[in-house]
Amino acid sequence: MIPPLMPTYARADVAFERGEGAYLFAADGRRYLDFGAGVAVVALGHCHPHLVEALARQAGALWHCSNLYRIPGQERLAERLVENTFADSVFFANSGAEAVECGLKMIRKHFDDTGSPGRYRVITCAGGFHGRTLATIAAGRQEKHLTGFDPVVDGFDQVAFGNLDELRAAITDETAAILIEPVQGEGGIHPAALEYLRGLREVADEYGLLLFFDEIQCGMGRTGKLFAHEWAGMAPDILAAGKGLGGGFPVGACLATEKAAAALSAGSHGSTFGGNPLAMAAANAVLDVVLADGFLDRVDAVARLLWKRLESLVEAHPKVLGGLRGAGLMVGLACVFDNGTLVAHLRDNGLLTVPAADNVVRLLPPLVIEERHVDEAMAILERSCAELADRAA
Ligand SMILES: *Cc1c(COP(=O)(O)O)cnc(C)c1O
């Protein structure tokens, strides 16, 4: 018999009751160090005092009023995102997939408006993930996400991640844009080479394509810059943000240059909840912290410390770990045997991580972790790897 809760997830049998910083507390009182952060969502840790205060204040003033009226929190958040990124204008949604949908609609409308309605196809990369709506599963083109959901939304062509020649060869008169994650998350933590990102910009300019980055997982400070592409010293035309943007409150954003954003005028796109006052209070509070002097430098420093320690771990446990990759606090540990086994074992030992494709275990800790959290995580990782190596022997 089907349970009342639709069984769309294979859930671990743990229920959390309370969170504090990098820790979660289960109903049975057990404490876990959270290096999954709700899949890169709880960027400032659980119940960060500044976010709690901002959200409580907003909850006592105004929850929702609709986009029929001005929402000062939206204006402020948009101004701050514009000030700190390549973008000239921002649309607010409730999720990552909706932010990607906004960008995809913007692309079609841009070419329709500029006299090329036949240009609508978007080139995406193998291993990419862009959400679970009909259009975004078509963009991701993962067999397991598409099976049973035919017909697949038209307009996406897939090429290998990191291969500019293959991408150039896939461009036709109908190509409108390129959509990629600068660091693939669900696909197994694959960072694009910075040279490749710069190459994408050149190709896009050469063929008049819009360049669309999905930074829903790798953005919002996770790599030590506000957005990961900044490491490459270039910029896209459109960018989708989500996950960490609200620090745990559902919010997505589609950032765009004036040229791209001009396509969406009054009536052409919308959302009931998108950018409501509660979401804007949360996201503005996240930005207060992330944009504060020195915050991103501290993320970079703690990430370098974690990487150094993880390199030794991988070296010491070749029977369990096959490698290490990623960027900043977005780390993938390649597993020798089933990644689910390591995730479950780490959880039993008090450390929460997230599995990804390619048999990878993802470490996505809150950006506020300190050396002591790295020490604690490493102790659990060392112990768990040793135990699993013993078991395999
Ligand atoms: C999580 C994620 C999405 C989808 O976000 P939702 O909020 O689940 O819709 C899209 N792209 C990337 C890169 C993601 O990591």
Last residue in a domain, options 258, 290, 322:
290
| pLDDT bracket for residue 354 (50, 70, 90) | very high
In a domain, 2, yes or no: no
Residue 27's pLDDT is what?
93
Residues 123, 258, single domain; the answer is yes
- Measured from the Cα of 217, ligand 1's closest atom is 15
| pLDDT bracket for residue 249 (50, 70, 90) | very high
| pLDDT bracket for residue 23 (50, 70, 90) | very high
Residue 288 pairs in a beta bridge with none
Residues 75, 156, single domain; the answer is yes
For residue 393, pLDDT over 80 is answered with no
Residues 199, 316, single domain; the answer is no
- Measured from the Cα of 185, ligand 1's closest atom is 15
For residue 348, pLDDT over 80 is answered with yes
Residues 271, 343, single domain; the answer is no
Number of domains in the chain: 2
Tens digit of pLDDT for each residue in 274-310? 999 999 999 999 999 999 999 999 999 999 999 999 9
Stretch 151-161: mean pLDDT? 98
Residue 201's pLDDT is what?
98
- Measured from the Cα of 131, ligand 1's closest atom is 4
Which protein residues touch ligand 1 with a CB less than 6 Å away?
95-97, 100, 129-131, 181, 185-186, 214, 216-217, 242-243
- What is the SS3 assignment for 60? coil
Q: Does the reported pTM lie above 0.75?
A: yes
Q: Which helix (H) or strand (E) holds 99?
A: helix 96-113
Report the CATH number at residue 126.
Answer: 3.40.640.10
Residues 22, 84, single domain; the answer is no
Tens digit of pLDDT for each residue in 196-221? 999 999 999 999 999 999 999 999 99
Distance 106 CA to ligand 1 centre (A): 18
Whether 282 and 289 have beta carbons less than 8 Å apart is answered as: no
| pLDDT bracket for residue 11 (50, 70, 90) | very high
In a domain, 221, yes or no: yes
Tell me how far CA of residue 167 lies from CA of 152, 159, 199, 278, in angstroms: 21, 6, 10, 41
- Residue 219 corresponds to which amino acid? G
| pLDDT bracket for residue 359 (50, 70, 90) | very high
Q: Which domain holds residue 164?
A: 50-290
- Which residue puts its alpha carbon closest to atom 11 of ligand 1? 130
Residues 353, 246, single domain; the answer is no
Last residue in a domain, options 265, 290, 315:
290
Distance 147 CA to ligand 1 centre (A): 19
Q: What percent of the chain has pLDDT over 70?
A: 100
Structure-block tokens of residue 348: 């039993």
Cα separation, 177 vs 171, in Å, equals: 9
Distance 389 CA to ligand 1 centre (A): 34
| pLDDT bracket for residue 392 (50, 70, 90) | confident
Cα separation, 92 vs 254, in Å, equals: 6
- Measured from the Cα of 136, ligand 1's closest atom is 10
- Measured from the Cα of 97, ligand 1's closest atom is 9
In a domain, 253, yes or no: yes
In a domain, 6, yes or no: no
- Measured from the Cα of 95, ligand 1's closest atom is 7
Q: Residue 3: which region, alpha, beta or left (left: phi > 0; alpha: psi -120 to 50)?
A: beta
In a domain, 272, yes or no: yes
Residues 332, 212, single domain; the answer is no
Residues 164, 236, single domain; the answer is yes
Q: What percent of the chain has pLDDT over 90?
A: 99
Stretch 89-95: mean pLDDT? 98
For residue 94, pLDDT over 90 is answered with yes
For residue 179, pLDDT over 90 is answered with yes
For residue 345, pLDDT over 80 is answered with yes
Residue 205's pLDDT is what?
98
Last residue in a domain, options 248, 271, 290:
290
98, 129, 136: which to mutate for ligand 1, most atoms within 8 A of CB? 129
102, 130, 181: which to mutate for ligand 1, most atoms within 8 A of CB? 130
Residues 280, 302, single domain; the answer is no
For residue 10, pLDDT over 80 is answered with yes
Stretch 110-137: mean pLDDT? 98
DSSP letters for 306-365? HHHHHHHHHHH-TTTEEEEEEETTEEEEEESS-HHHHHHHHHHTTEE-EEETTTEEEE--
92, 134, 186, 362: which to mutate for ligand 1, most atoms within 8 A of CB? 186
Residues 340, 369, single domain; the answer is yes
Residues 321, 251, single domain; the answer is no
In a domain, 11, yes or no: no
In a domain, 7, yes or no: no
Cα separation, 150 vs 147, in Å, equals: 7
Residues 29, 80, single domain; the answer is no
In a domain, 301, yes or no: yes
Cα separation, 98 vs 139, in Å, equals: 13
